[in-house]
Amino acid sequence: MEKFGLIIAVFSEIKALLDEKGAVLNQIEEKPFNVYEYKINENKVLYIIHSGCGEEFASIATTYLILKYGVSTIFNYGVVGALNPHLKECDTCLISDVIQHDFDTDSVEHKGIGYHEEFETNTFHCDSKLIKKSLNIVDLPIYKLCSGNKFIATEQDRKHLFNNFQADVCDMELVGILMTAKLFNLPVLSIKGVSDSYQANVQDFEVLAYKSASIAVKIILNIIENI
């Protein structure tokens, strides 16, 4: 039996999943996390965890799925902010590389922002084999992502991350997922949908986030079911 894990951060993202697949999901835990079981077929089961917002919760939830449910592959989908000015709401992508924009020991290590001595890198990678398999199922662009514990709302902040890290999108969870999976030597695949762009009104975030998540969840489930 193949055991997969799917990590989802915020309410709009989990609501999109429940609206899409609620009838076939079995909620098996409420604390410390809401966990759902989705039996894809007799050979595949997907454990879905609602982590909460931010790198720390994402990392804890990833560890929980690995240690309690023995998942061998980690999937993630969610909404992101656009850093690339050409992106618009509901644009959807696969993520290749991730850098942690709010981790900075450069003044003592001189290795650049996002550098982690434990991993000897400042760039974390989603699994290239999973990306290749996914592209045989669905045609998506591949983007670089900045991750950090800050909601990037202003045009000034978006330009700063785009210019300094050459990243297309940003979120608050993926680096925590990738670092945890790297410690356990497990592959990660992430699908992201743009919820807020340069043109978006942040007041409309929840509506746009749900719309974008609804597109992303269909794609990630299609990949998981057919990979």
Whole-number Å distance between alpha carbons of 81 and 16? 18
Domain 2-226's class?
alpha beta
Q: What pLDDT sits at residue 169? A: 98
pTM of the predicted protein model: 0.95
199 confidence band (pLDDT: 50, 70, 90): confident
Q: pLDDT tier at 195 (50, 70, 90 boundaries)?
A: very high
- Give per-residue pLDDT as tens, 56-77: 999 999 999 999 999 999 999 9
